[in-house]
């Protein structure tokens, strides 16, 4: 089954069916985990972990507009992030630096960021719901990884929003430290503007030097 077919059959909005299944089985603390920045040329990979309360009707009403962060405008993401912080039992953040991405590879760096997000939670969750990758080697906690998790699970979608807002703010801060690259606009992703500025200013310490566009410019 190809990715386009799977994507076409995703629910209209993230739901709590998985969370309900685990809650009904006696698991109390279900953490949704997602990352952002995996494909960027610069900046960290950031992951968030979110544990929502066992209040399905309340959550469905309060977080009815929560979606995969990529589907929301910056203003809506900011609004949703505040709502998520208000209703979540707790949340945690973790990141992998550009140096770790270069040293470990992007997949391992993603797992490191997710591991750090989970261990930053004030209580260890009983079950993990993770977007795309598994953390079986990193965490001895029951877990379910799934593609398009941020479109399926409300907990994962909430984590995607918190991670996106957190990372965007980091990139805006980096734009002051490294002016001229446009980090405040493209957030480190591979836009034409970003490439043009790289050809003029060269890569910074916050760029991922093993990524092909950066490596090819360094070799030029």
What is the per-residue pLDDT across 112-152, written as a single tens digit (0 to 9) for each?
A: 999 999 999 999 999 999 999 999 999 999 999 999 999 99
Residue 51 inside a domain? The answer is yes
Percent of the chain having pLDDT more than 70? 95
Distance, first Cα to last Cα, the chain: 41
The CATH number of whichever domain residue 123 belongs to comes to 3.30.420.10
Specify the pLDDT at position 9: 82
| Residue 8 pLDDT class (50, 70, 90 cuts) | low
Range of the domain at 127: 11-176
Residue 215 inside a domain? The answer is no
Specify the pLDDT at position 190: 95
pLDDT at 4 over 70: no
Q: Which two tokens stand for residue 97?
A: 């630096």
| Residue 219 pLDDT class (50, 70, 90 cuts) | low
Instruction: Provide the β-strand partners of residue 91.
Output: 50
pLDDT at 3 over 50: no
**Mean pLDDT confidence for 67-72:** 90
**Mean pLDDT confidence for 189-218:** 93
Q: How many domains does the chain have?
A: 1
Distance in angstroms (rounded) separating the CA atoms of residues 107 and 181? 26
Residue 138 inside a domain? The answer is yes
Q: pTM for this one?
A: 0.93
Longest dimension (CA), the chain: 58
Per the prediction, the chain carries an average pLDDT of 94
Residue 186 inside a domain? The answer is no
Specify the pLDDT at position 101: 98
Residue 213 inside a domain? The answer is no
164 with 171: CB under 8 angstroms? no
pLDDT at 1 over 60: no
Specify the pLDDT at position 99: 98
Residue 182 inside a domain? The answer is no
* Tokens 């877990």 sit on residue: 143
Instruction: Provide the β-strand partners of residue 32.
Output: 50, 129
Residue 75 inside a domain? The answer is yes
* Tokens 């990193």 sit on residue: 138
Residue 67 inside a domain? The answer is yes
| Residue 217 pLDDT class (50, 70, 90 cuts) | confident
pLDDT at 208 over 60: yes
């Amino acid at each position: 089954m190809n990715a386009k077919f799977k994507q076409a059959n995703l629910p209209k909005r993230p739901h709590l069916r998985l969370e309900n299944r685990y809650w009904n089985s006696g698991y109390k603390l279900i953490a949704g985990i997602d990352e952002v920045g995996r494909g960027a040329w610069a900046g960290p990979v950031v992951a968030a972990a979110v544990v929502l309360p066992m209040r399905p009707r309340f959550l469905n009403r309060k977080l009815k507009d929560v979606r995969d962060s990529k589907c929301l405008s910056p203003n809506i993401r900011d609004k949703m992030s505040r709502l998520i912080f208000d209703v979540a039992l707790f949340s945690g953040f973790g990141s992998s630096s550009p140096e770790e991405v270069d040293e470990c590879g992007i997949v391992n760096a993603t797992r490191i960021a997710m591991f750090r997000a989970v261990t930053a939670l004030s209580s260890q969750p009983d079950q993990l719901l993770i977007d795309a990758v598994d953390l079986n080697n990193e965490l001895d906690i029951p877990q379910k990884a799934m593609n398009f998790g941020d479109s399926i699970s409300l907990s994962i979608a909430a984590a995607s929003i918190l991670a996106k807002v957190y990372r965007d703010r980091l990139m805006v801060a980096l734009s002051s430290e490294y002016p001229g690259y446009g980090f405040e606009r493209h957030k480190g992703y591979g836009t034409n503007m970003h490439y043009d500025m790289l050809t003029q200013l060269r890569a910074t310490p916050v760029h991922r030097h093993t990524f092909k566009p950066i490596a090819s410019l360094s070799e030029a």
